Structure 1
């Protein structure tokens, strides 16, 4: 089943908690119900709340592309690019990066998330407020239309462009576990971008590569572009949704 990055769900549920919709102790259970143990999240959320923070945003960086994350020290950048996700606050600055892994003896293992706090620079409010949900949706739909056509025209299987569109239409009916209070458009973009991000990532699985190296490289390029386009839209839609939950919109 398609799923959202942990930091997307944590940003939304944490903002809801800091705005008083639920207790911060409930955030791990609501945001990550599929994990057996979560450590390091609640205490930092409580600290941010006590310091007056009400908005938690998400970033989904990768090596070579740090546009979505706030500026910070080298240890934050290293951890965030390895995890490819983080949440952060804008007023005083500060970030949390998850490490999701198995724990326990072989044959009886569970999943845990260890959240580590890092310093980061504050983000000016006007930078946050300029996020546009209509622009994010337009860029997503334009990018998906162009890239899925390229994928349909590219040789090799699986995940041809037309097949990808069909799978996405089925995937957006899944239960995503989002808090109440999000505008319908934000939910729509989060669902679509999240599903495409998952499917593009699945298509990059080396076990699905064609024996034809040229075809493989061509499809990889298209899928990486599709993944980047959908990730940018997912970040924008999540952060606009957080603005609504915090009462900033």
Structure 2
């Protein structure tokens, strides 16, 4: 599976299709966004509706339980659904978002994976708040989070954190093609790449911790807290950089 969240790929490819930027129509864009899935269904007609009403950019948020700061204003139920999925796409003008859910289907030994997109109501987002995203600041904040996370993990007593999460993340990044639309802003792509790498390492570390703690309860708790903070910071950076790329394709800001 791609190392990029599905919603990041969907936001980039659908916006590219809306502007005939390396892809001719939304159907092709959705196929490009879901290359590793067997079936896609749900409220995808909402994408055409948004375009018909003048939306020009499909944006992305990567919330987590306890941190929904990147979401448009919406009900607690909608925020909870997006946080549980860890991702969504949304439009700024008329408001509204789509949340994907991945499911396995089919008999044992012959299973496929489907993506089901569900539409939800959300408030519009002021365009200028999105256009104010500063990639330089995003990059600095991510570097700071990595440095602070590394320092916090080093302070945890007990068995050192193994290199397995980093090695697993590197294999995932090496094996997956980004599959992005052409001619995206190079700096945005660079920040996306770095953020995705950091998020993968943190998530692999959390998965390793969940599989079997190698430290005492106190130390394991501190380590997991540090990894969650790092993963959240990486997701914020990834969403911000992806939205900068989306806005460049949409003509909201220079490439």
Say whether the fold is shared (TM-score over 0.5): yes
Q: Which runs of 5+ in 2 are unaligned?
A: none
> What is the CA–CA distance in structure 2 between the aligned matches of 1:4 and 1:156, rounded to whole Å?
31
Distance of aligned partners of 1:54 and 1:2 in 2 relative to their CA distance in 1, 3 Å threshold: closer
Post-superposition offset of 1:7? 0.8
Shift of 1:149: 3.1
> What does residue 224 of structure 2 align with?
220
CA contact (8 A) 1:100 1:111 kept: yes
Residue aligning to 2:152: 150
Give the aligned partner of residue 233 of structure 1. 237
What's the RMSD between the two structures over aligned residues? Answer: 2.1
**CA–CA distance in structure 2, aligned partners of residues 36 and 129 of structure 1:** 35
**TM-score, normalising length: structure 1:** 0.91
Q: Deviations over 1:10-50 (max 9, x none)?
A: 11111111222221001222111000001136422211111
Residue 109 of structure 1 is aligned with which of 96, 108, 111?
111
Q: How does 1:1-249 map to 2 (within 5 A)?
A: 3-21=3-21, 22=23, 23-40=25-42, 42-154=44-156, 155-159=158-162, 173=174, 174-205=176-207, 206-249=210-253
User: Cα–Cα, structure 1 residues 117 and 123, in superposed 2: closer, same or farther, change >3 Å?
Assistant: same
Counterpart secondary structure, 1:210: coil
Q: Secondary structure at the match of 1:204?
A: helix
Structure 2 contact 43–117 (Cα < 8 Å) conserved:
yes
Q: Which runs of 5+ in 1 are unaligned?
A: none
Three-state SS of the structure 1 residue aligned to 2:100 is: strand
2-side partners of 1:203 and 1:2: how far apart?
A: 19
Q: How many residue pairs end up in the alignment?
A: 247
Displacement of 1:109: 1.1
Q: Classify the secondary structure of the residue corresponding to 1:108.
A: coil
CA contact (8 A) 1:144 1:226 kept: yes
Offset from partner CA, 1:164-201 (integer Å, 9 cap, x none): 67776776555221111211111111111111111111
TM-score normalized by the length of structure 2: 0.89
Q: Structure 1's 79 and 215: CA in aligned 2 closer, same or farther, altered over 3 A?
A: same
Displacement of 1:242 in angstroms is 0.7
Q: CA deviation at 1:79?
A: 1.6
